[in-house]
Structure 1
Amino acid sequence: AARAGALIADPEFVQFHPTAIAGPRDPAPLVTEALRGEGAILVNKAGQRFMAAIHADAELAPRDIVARAIFREIAAGRGAFLDARPALGDRFASAFPTVYENCMALGIDPARQAIPVAPAAHYHMGGIHVDARGRSSVEGLWACGEVASTGMHGANRLASNSLLEAIVFGARIAADIDGAVPEGRAASHIAPPVLGSAAATDAPFVSQLRQIMTAHVGVEREGEGLAHALTEIARLERAAGPANLFGNIATTAKLIAASAFAREESRGGHYRTDFAEPRAAFRHRTFVTLKEAERIAEAAIENAHAPQNEAQASA
């Protein structure tokens, strides 16, 4: 959609689920927030509960606050664990069978052990900008679900709102499309692009990009890291070439990183350590095309390299 010129909204706003099971599974299985609702607490490897000192609601604080707290415990080397033993104990298997099975598959008995957890990329509030009928800025292109940005979530998301959104907008889109194409006429003369599957040759690029996005465009961000991420995304795009699935992955990463670089504040799921508070000047949604994101990226890369170029010139 971005390559076709569609307007993209709010790509910098990514929600991280605070409690995925930290381990070898990819993607990491999630530990439902309902566990914390039942009284499970977050502790570090020393057994110290850390959320009570961070927010009045402790473990029931908003997702972005809990995710950042866990991220910082892990970054400091203290680790993070969800301890359901006092609250659930032997009731765990019957109360939360899916989480129990996922834990046991990883060699963790949650009735006897605390569960190692880490934040995981979970939901994208941004996406293809659509109106109340699900129409994008490109004629003939409708979008709903997580690929779309309806504005229903703002800078963050409450659990399960996305399900209601998909039901409502799915029905609206169906009604809007119904009768839009006369009977007997081909729906489109444009062949859809062949995306194929990720080739084995893409794997090293995907692995590198995941590391870059985790390190610099993840739970916490800052300008220098975002500029570095944009530099590396451009490098990987050149190395991989455009005619593959990785090109689509890199395009998405670029839209997220460029918009995060341009938003010099913290709001909802977007957190900048160098601009830790919301700013009135940014109290608005982001609307960006791929060309505009590329201009932001080019400027960020150029500015990041300017001190190095000046130093080389002086030498």
Structure 2
Amino acid sequence: LINGRGERFMAARHPLAELAPRDIVARGVFAEIAAGRGAFLDARQALGARFATKFRTVHASCIAAGIDPTTQPIPIAPAAHYHMGGIAVDDRGRSSIDGLWAGGEVSSTGAHGANRLASNSLLEAVVYAARIADDIAGRTTPSPARLADVATPRGGASDAAAVNRLRTLMSAHVGVIRNGDGLADAVRSFAALEREATSIAVGNMATAALLVAASAWNRRESRGAHFRSDHAADVPALAQRTTTTLAAVREIADSLSERPTPRTAQPMIA
């Protein structure tokens, strides 16, 4: 990994450089981009002319974008893994709603820890898919329990401006580097977007964003992909999964709405 100056920036951040834990590499890439130096994957020496045969799909994507990875570094950016949880399930994939099972990245099993790693997620999906299939087999599936009616009109058109605002807030305040003020601002905004949503799609997006942001605001430490610049150290007592409900995060949103909004709520660079 190099920046626009050709410097290997990860060597100064961790003894393992590019092989450091995923969250540390993501923050390193984020910091270089935020500083205006850019971040690139340089495979010219390691692969060179072999790139096309070793990584055909990546090579084709690069060529389509006007980049020749055999002679040019590839621009990169970190992907924000917003949460490591999901729907609470037991060891058979059963949720709290009779007749509803959940597996893979939509579920919270604890298998992937504080850094969502592709290999862990794949193994988790395979294991829980088999467990869920075994649990369903031979059962008479009951009719799903009726959920409370959703107040949001079902026929409303998706509001592009609301979706863009939600995505912008998630990237700015709930992304790779977080802080309390930014998360509080995001929680207030997502609660308002949820209340004002004119479509089911936007309402659901705002609800999911609110759950993630409020949970991140409530966890006052840094652990894996959850990094808070105002609480940069991990807290051993918090080394466990936590659970929440939509009612609980709405209470957090209500309490934050009663507080004065700070003048700035910008993400800080570590």
TM above 0.5: yes
Counterpart of 1:188? 143
Instruction: Give the CA deviation at 1:163.
Output: 1.5
RMSD between aligned alpha carbons?
2.5
Counterpart of 1:35? none
Counterpart of 1:146? 105
Gaps of 5+ in 1: 1-41, 309-315
Counterpart of 1:31? none
Whether 2:237 is the aligned partner of 1:278: answer: no
Gaps of 5+ in 2: 264-270
Counterpart of 1:27? none
Whether 2:224 is the aligned partner of 1:268: answer: yes
Instruction: Give the CA deviation at 1:207.
Output: 1.1
User: What percentage of aligned pairs have identical amino acids?
Assistant: 60
CA distance in 2: counterparts of 1:84 and 1:265, whole angstroms: 36
Alignment of 1:30-179 (within 5 A): 42-122=1-81, 124-179=83-138
Deviation sequence 1:190-236 (CA, Å, 0-9, x none): 689999x9976422211111100000000000000001111221232
- Contact conserved, 1:216 with 1:226, CA < 8 A, in 2? yes
**Where has structure 1 moved over 4 Å in runs of 4 or more?**
189-195, 197-200
Instruction: Give the CA deviation at 1:300.
Output: 2.4
Cα distance change of structure 1 residues 245 and 165 upon mapping to structure 2, 3 Å threshold: same
Cα distance change of structure 1 residues 189 and 253 upon mapping to structure 2, 3 Å threshold: closer
Residue 232 of structure 1, aligned match among 189, 192, 197: 189
Counterpart of 1:290? 246
Letter in 1 for 2:176: V
Normalization by structure 2: what TM-score? Answer: 0.89
Whether 2:192 is the aligned partner of 1:219: answer: no
Of the structure 1 ranges 117-126 and 45-54, higher mean CA displacement relative to structure 2 is found in 117-126
Q: Secondary structure at the match of 1:303?
A: coil
- Contact conserved, 1:265 with 1:271, CA < 8 A, in 2? yes
- Contact conserved, 1:73 with 1:79, CA < 8 A, in 2? yes
CA distance in 1: counterparts of 2:109 and 2:68, whole angstroms: 41
- Contact conserved, 1:227 with 1:304, CA < 8 A, in 2? no
Residue 252 of structure 1, aligned match among 208, 218, 223: 208
- Contact conserved, 1:84 with 1:111, CA < 8 A, in 2? yes
Q: Secondary structure at the match of 1:119?
A: coil
Report the structure, 1 or 2, having the larger strand content.
1
Cα distance change of structure 1 residues 199 and 65 upon mapping to structure 2, 3 Å threshold: farther
Normalization by structure 1: what TM-score? Answer: 0.77
Counterpart of 2:266? none
Instruction: Give the CA deviation at 1:296.
Output: 1.5
- Contact conserved, 1:198 with 1:246, CA < 8 A, in 2? no
Instruction: Give the CA deviation at 1:117.
Output: 0.6
Deviation sequence 1:87-133 (CA, Å, 0-9, x none): 11111111111110111111111111111110113585210011101
- Contact conserved, 1:220 with 1:272, CA < 8 A, in 2? yes
CA distance in 1: counterparts of 2:208 and 2:65, whole angstroms: 31
- Contact conserved, 1:152 with 1:165, CA < 8 A, in 2? yes
